[in-house]
Structure 1
Amino acid sequence: MQILEDFLVKRDKGYYCSYGNFYLDPLYPVENAVVSHAHGDHASPGHKNIYATAATAQMMQYRYPKQPLSSYHIQGFTAGFSINGVELVFYPAGHILGSAQILMVYKGVRYLYTGDYKLQEDPTCEAIQIVPADVLITETTFANPDTKHPDPVGEIMKLDVSSNILLGCYALGKAQRITALLNTYLPHKHVLVHHNILPFHRIYDAMGDVRLQYEVYNRKAMKEAGSNKVYLVPPLTFNSYRHAKNVLKAFASGWERLQAQNDISLYLSDHVDWADILYFIEQVKPKAIWTLHGDGRELHRYFSEEIAIRDIKSETFLNDYC
């Protein structure tokens, strides 16, 4: 078995596998798109064929209503399929509902693309499944030894205050996870969701394993008596409400810079931290590691003498190198 250094290359439209003529999470229209999950930086419209899990396809259909339904090729977890001679299998990534790692097998070599993934417990999405691979293609969003994501339960308990809370969060994935955490650990809190978040809550209710308890925000709700309301709003709305009165402000993120000027810091990330990445690599046992989606320099230094590790190379670089 020989690892093909050009099995996956970086092109302007995304990460391309010429051996199967498909892209992973392309940003622009292509013939064959294999989509790991429905966040906008991974799932885009305009493709001829889209291979995705049922939940990812459902969320994409909401976001991109002009995308023909016939273009979707729904794939279940652990059920293999083939694109032009490359065998693929989706495995749960634990990032959001429907998120998938993409295992690609070609000429006996197993290439595993993580997409975005997390190891922390989250009942609103499928738990990550770890599978062995020869080449691990991993995101490096928080691949820094100084990064350690705190316990999510401890973070959500910071919201146990006698005040209404304006909580900024991403509409897909983070908002549903926060709602479930509040329902479980602070059940006396009344969860209100912005109208841009509501459709994703409904998809989670229909396709997930956890029934979320919430109400749709209305203008009077935050003015009514009581101080037990948590109003979930997307980032742009949160920024426009910076000067809102009679509420405490928080923004759910793993990034420290997004905690500035808020009344409550809320470190909730849906990505792996440094320790998680090291554990994951130990379990996958790859012969080589290729990095993308972040800064992989610390990971490169850590494994430089142990495992062959590099960034995904651009096609131009590989051609020049050869």
Structure 2
Amino acid sequence: MIKEDFIVITPTGLYCRYGDFYLDPQQPVKEAVVSHAHGDHAIGGSQNVYCTAPTESFMKHRYRKFAAVDFHIKAYHEQFKIGEVFISFYSAGHILGSAQVFMEYEGVKYLYTGDYKIEPDASCEPFEFVKADVLITESTFANPETIHPSSIEEIEKLNGTKSNIMLGAYALGKSQRLIQLMHQYCPGKNVMVHHSIMPFVKIYEDYGVKLGNYKMYDRKVMKNNPESQVYIVPPMVFHSYHKAINVVRVFASGWKKLQQQNGISLYISDHADWNAILETIEKVKPQQVWTLHGDGKQLKEYFDGKLAVKILN
């Protein structure tokens, strides 16, 4: 029988009382199961952190000695137990090392996706479809009007301008994906990377991900070459230089609001869109869907009378 309170939202985060652990807690806890290393899912200071090896590496870089008291590194498909709950990780396709958390208790299977995408992305492990009784899915873009375009077609837009480009992107995950995409589909561009992004790039390469050609940002190169330079910067830098001259401003995101007032729109998202969420539900074959990290109302309406959808947030 499905436990309707198997996962509950608390001020600390998503809590599983049957295993006495938290999924992606927002405050330090004793037992933390971390899906991936983005800051809204992975914080420092917990006593025991269960995650993949790349997630540990990213967290140790970001939080240094405060990342965790102890890390418990688990490979994909490796089963472990916390309390009375059996747990294993499956690739989420979001960023390098991102994991879905598969949990089994009293014969019932619960699958927490964390953030995920099913679109092919050579910079990280591909998404794995896993059958479960309850699918606990992110719903960031759970809107029928949100259909992400091809990332290849989007990145090729950059070939349409010779001007230098300031490309805003999240330092972890998005930047590395963009470097790889430009290497493959924008060979005429010289890619330069902000210094704060570079450590994450190196961690990707340490895990064997081939990103292609890039260089550390050099102001003189950008100044002396008015064409074909792409400078990848984190959001804070991108927004602080909102009046940067002699560059085309571009921000890589699935959010329309982040495309406004930019020279080129670049809809490249690392989250599942409406069609991807529907495909995931179809292949997971859950008895119930629980939604998180977004608005699940339209999913609930879409499946009304056909599948139970519970909005957790």
TM-score over 0.5 (shorter chain): yes
Q: Mapping of 1:79-228 within 5 angstroms? A: 79-160=78-159, 161-228=161-228
Looking at structure 2, the residues matched to 12 and 69 of structure 1 have their Cα atoms a distance apart, in angstroms, of 20
Question: C-alpha displacement at 1:212, in angstroms?
Answer: 3.2
Contact 2:141 2:272 in 1 (8 A): yes
Question: C-alpha displacement at 1:31, in angstroms?
Answer: 0.4
Contact 2:94 2:271 in 1 (8 A): yes
Distance 1:16 1:95, change over 3 A: same
The sequence identity of aligned pairs, in percent, is: 54
Q: Which amino acid in structure 1 is aligned with residue 215 of structure 2?
A: E
CA deviations 1:67-116 (Å, max 9, x no partner) are 26651000000111111121001000000000000000000000000000
Aligned residue in 2 for 1:320? none
Looking at structure 2, the residues matched to 15 and 169 of structure 1 have their Cα atoms a distance apart, in angstroms, of 28
CA deviations 1:253-288 (Å, max 9, x no partner) are 000010110000000000000011101100000000
Paired residue secondary structure (2:289): strand
Q: Which amino acid in structure 2 is aligned with residue 300 of structure 1?
A: K
Aligned residue in 1 for 2:246? 246
Contact 2:89 2:102 in 1 (8 A): yes
Contact 1:163 1:228 in 2 (8 A): yes
Q: Which amino acid in structure 2 is aligned with residue 217 of structure 1?
A: Y
Question: C-alpha displacement at 1:175, in angstroms?
Answer: 0.4
Distance 1:193 1:23, change over 3 A: same
Q: Which amino acid in structure 2 is aligned with residue 131 of structure 1?
A: V
Contact 1:201 1:212 in 2 (8 A): no
Question: C-alpha displacement at 1:203, in angstroms?
Answer: 0.6
Question: C-alpha displacement at 1:22, in angstroms?
Answer: 0.3
Looking at structure 1, the residues matched to 48 and 212 of structure 2 have their Cα atoms a distance apart, in angstroms, of 32
Contact 1:125 1:208 in 2 (8 A): no
Contact 2:59 2:67 in 1 (8 A): no
Q: Mapping of 1:255-270 within 5 angstroms? A: 255-270=255-270
Looking at structure 2, the residues matched to 51 and 234 of structure 1 have their Cα atoms a distance apart, in angstroms, of 28
CA deviations 1:288-320 (Å, max 9, x no partner) are 01111001100010112111111127xxxxxxx
Contact 1:96 1:173 in 2 (8 A): yes
Paired residue secondary structure (1:141): coil
Q: Which amino acid in structure 1 is aligned with residue 49 of structure 2?
A: I
Aligned residue in 2 for 1:51? 50
CA deviations 1:201-224 (Å, max 9, x no partner) are 011111143243211112212112
Q: Which consecutive residues of structure 2, in runs of 5 or more, have no partner in the other structure?
A: none
Q: Which amino acid in structure 1 is aligned with residue 57 of structure 2?
A: Q
Distance 1:53 1:222, change over 3 A: same
Contact 2:90 2:100 in 1 (8 A): yes
Q: Which amino acid in structure 2 is aligned with residue 159 of structure 1?
A: L
- Determine if the alignment matches structure 1 residue 60 to structure 2 residue 62: no
Which runs of at least 4 in structure 1 moved beyond 6 Å after TM superposition? none
Contact 2:48 2:68 in 1 (8 A): no
How high is the TM-score relative to the length of structure 2? 0.98
Q: Which consecutive residues of structure 1, in runs of 5 or more, have no partner in the other structure?
A: 314-322
Contact 1:112 1:133 in 2 (8 A): yes
Looking at structure 2, the residues matched to 14 and 214 of structure 1 have their Cα atoms a distance apart, in angstroms, of 38
Contact 1:171 1:197 in 2 (8 A): yes
Distance 1:25 1:68, change over 3 A: closer
How high is the TM-score relative to the length of structure 1? 0.95
Paired residue secondary structure (1:290): strand
